[in-house]
């Protein structure tokens, strides 16, 4: 075999090897993109009862009932509206966000309300809530149950 033929053969083999590994890398990237996308089949729509506590030097606690709606074509799109509350000014507050796996990340949509946070669903009937509001000065925690289960135990503010 002549030197020129050897160089051509090596070049062709190198190109084939590069092409083979490039296809493998491209497939791996697409797989990573697919698994990184948020898809969920968890159903969370319905009424949820939440006992909460918010603190910032002072403490306030209470209960809310949310009506949670979930998109039919995009189950990751979730809206939660407070329909009953021990704090009457909170009734009508709407939170919108995305459900990814077991976590609903939300922000309030009402003007003047900057609450944002997340609910983590621990099973089909229970969740925990964490959020902040007031420019991040108040930190809230809570527990929730899906109706028809009763309200979770109240969270009591302890004295200073």
The mean pLDDT of 15-30, rounded to a whole number, is 45
**pLDDT (tens digit, 9 = 90+) per residue, 105-146?**
999 999 999 999 999 999 999 999 999 999 999 999 999 999
Give the model's pLDDT for residue 57: 86
107 bridge partner residues: 96, 116
Domain 46-146, what fold? Porin (2.40.160)
pLDDT band with cut points at 50, 70 and 90 for residue 27: very low
Give the model's pLDDT for residue 22: 44
pLDDT band with cut points at 50, 70 and 90 for residue 39: confident
Domain ranges of the chain: 1-37, 46-146
Distance CA 123, CA 144 (A): 11
Q: Is the pLDDT of residue 26 over 70?
A: no
Helices (H), the chain: 3-36
Extended beta strands in the chain, E state = 46-56, 58-70, 77-85, 94-100, 103-108, 116-121, 126-133, 138-146
């Amino acid at each position: 075999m002549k030197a020129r033929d050897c160089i051509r053969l090596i070049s062709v083999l190198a190109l084939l090897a590069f092409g083979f590994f490039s296809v493998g890398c491209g497939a791996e990237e697409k797989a990573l993109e697919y698994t990184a996308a948020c898809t969920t089949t968890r159903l969370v729509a319905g009424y949820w009862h939440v006992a909460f506590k918010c603190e910032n030097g002072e403490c306030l606690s209470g209960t809310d009932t949310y009506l949670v709606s979930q998109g039919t074509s995009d189950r990751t799109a979730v809206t939660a509206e407070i329909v009953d509350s021990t704090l009457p000014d909170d009734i009508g507050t709407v939170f919108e966000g995305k459900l990814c796996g077991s976590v609903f990340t939300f922000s309030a949509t009402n003007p003047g309300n900057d609450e944002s946070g997340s609910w983590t669903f621990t099973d089909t009937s229970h969740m925990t809530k964490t959020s902040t509001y007031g420019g991040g000065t108040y930190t809230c925690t809570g527990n929730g149950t899906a109706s028809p289960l009763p309200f979770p135990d109240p969270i009591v503010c302890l004295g200073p």
